[in-house]
Structure 1
Amino acid sequence: MNLAKHITDLLYRYDCVIVPDFGGFVTHQIGAKLASDAQTFYPPAKQVAFNSHLKHNDGLLANYVTSAEEMSFEEAATAISLTVAKWQQALKTNEVQLDGLGVLSLNKNQQIIFEPKKEINFLTASFGLSTVASAAVNRPIVQVKPLIPIVQTDSKKVIPTFIKYAATAAILLTLSFAGYTGYEQKQQKEVLASQQKALEKKIQSATFIIANPLPTLKLNVVREVSKPYHVVAGAFQFKENAHRKVKQLIADGFNSKIIGVNKWGLTQVSFDSYVEKNDAINHLYKIRKTVSQDAWLLVKATK
């Protein structure tokens, strides 16, 4: 069984995949960026990191292996345990290559170090987008022609001949149309005055007063905030048990609710849902220590 491949498949849909008694692979999203030195554009991506403190079995990996390998849940859990034992034994002397994920190794303190494959992008929204290298843009230099200088001799300024001709022509045109323009302006003012009087009559005839106006209607619109990160309390085959679990958790002070049915037909119940990923992970740790070690994190946008 290629356990690394199953972990890779799950990371395209989930932000956290826990390998029981070994550690968790957690993804984080990074935005698009430009490497100015190489003129290279990188699309948005979701890269993976390793957290050795996430060791409790949340059932996600075992359930997926059960479906993918067509075996029972107990057989899947055993197969995962055997693979983990092989990894731990191999790490004592060598690095462990995980297909599609990266490389595992031990440091001087016998702690697991994970080096991910940076070319792997787990963000499905960026599917088909690749790194683009752009050539540097060479902008042409525009040469500005110098202005015609005004030559000054003694105390007088010599003005170019063609500028004198242009100024003279402009003055003659202005004088020739001065009388016509004044007549046209007078006519235009008379037309505007008649139009304004007609408009005032229409406004007066259309003016009316409401004695008892209706009160102003105020609507309070509450915008629902999306909470895609859910700390799952369990998945139930019968809906009655799911509703019973929700009532129990609400009585215990949790904001519990049913968050849908998974592909195996099980109704999922959450302890609570969160807007931020870090808040969800922090509450997951707290719930595992105080309430249930079987709680796990699910990323799913609710409607």
Structure 2
Amino acid sequence: MNTTANYIGELLYRYECVILPGFGAFLTRRQSATIQEGTNTFYPPQKLISFNSQLQNNDGLLANYIASAEKISYTDAVAKIQRYVLSLQEKMAQGQRIELSKIGTFYTSVENTLQFEPLQEVNYLTEAFGLQSFASPAITREVYKEEVEAIEEVTPLTFTPEKRRERPYLQYAAAVAVILGVGGFFGLKQVSDTNISYNNKEWQKANQEIENRIQEATFEISNPLPAVNLSIVKDKANTESESDSNISTTVSKKFHVVAGAFRVLSNANQKIQKLKKQGFEAHLIGVNKYGLHQVAYESYENRPEALQALTKIKEQENSSAWLLIKE
């Protein structure tokens, strides 16, 4: 049994044109829902099927579909289509009517032309699946209108307005809702003000912490530039002031464990006094190329001794301490 017509019907659900090679093409066109006024019948949207005998070239759609459905080769599918077309042409030559399942009927007219009548019972529009045509009885508005007018003449209709029952509890509920709304507003405002005040305090605290870290900034330099020894002539008053503060600006040792670098000299002096209270022989070791006053925990004559001190300071005091070597 050749099921080519069934395959054509399945493809008409998906495509607007399905060609039966050597015979013709089935075309579909969308039609919107319609109402037949004479019979008050409603028809859902559908695909209208037409046939064009001029389109006979094989586009591969039907053959590929048959090959995939029946698990056969494309060549076998084409051969099956050819046998089906030959059987149709033989029946048409004998003057028989050919009915394709769920598609329509073919026959030869008196003028010996091929005619096609589509089947109306099948709707190939998937969007209208399940919708059927139905007839609705005509609405006789005028008949009912005359009956109502006749009744009104005999017994006039009067409408009594409905009295609404008072519901005082709704007023109380509305008043409570207003009070709760106002209270909630002020409560939210208080919470918002508290959050703003807290955020401002935290912001000021963070800024102060950042300022302190900047003043005590320590720069780790893997290969620092050698220090430049400058001979500065100072007046007697300045010399006496510096001697009173016990701050040494002349360093003869080569290896220095750096505690920090400060842009302001007074901050560097404060750092020195703090380190001295902790038991270190802290002192200034000059100004680096960034214009910062460098403060050392201590200075040493040889590298092993300096490295040992650096390791101890990094573990116990300041992990950012580093070793400066001045030639």
The two structures have a TM-score, normalised by structure 2, of: 0.43
Q: Which has the higher helix share?
A: 2
Radius of gyration: which is bigger? 2
The two structures have a TM-score, normalised by structure 1, of: 0.47
